[in-house]
Amino acid sequence: MLVKAPRLKNTIKSKTKSNVNVRPASEAMIELLTLLFLSSLAEEAKAKAFEEKSATIRAHHVKAVSKKLLKKARG
């Protein structure tokens, strides 16, 4: 059974410095982009773990890949 991802609206509102209203369409776009980023991070970490002949993805695999993906996400 698939579990829905938690809504990010409360997180977004708590992170903003001012009173910024986030429309439902914008909230959905932010959620989709976050899920896309996390899935690409998981895929890259999986490839890194495979390179090191590890059966599981560990924290150091994610850390090694995260800098590269964050630069790519920035543009």
Q: What is the DSSP letter of 44?
A: H
In tens, the pLDDT along 15-28 reads: 656 666 777 777 78
Check residues 72 and 75 and name the one with the higher pLDDT. 72
| Start-to-end C-alpha separation, the chain | 35
**d(C-alpha 11, C-alpha 15), whole Å:** 6
- How many angstroms separate the Cα of 29 from the Cα of each of 15, 23, 26, 35, 65? 17, 10, 5, 10, 24
CATH for 25-74? Answer: 1.10.20.10
Band of the pLDDT at 43, cuts 50, 70, 90? very high
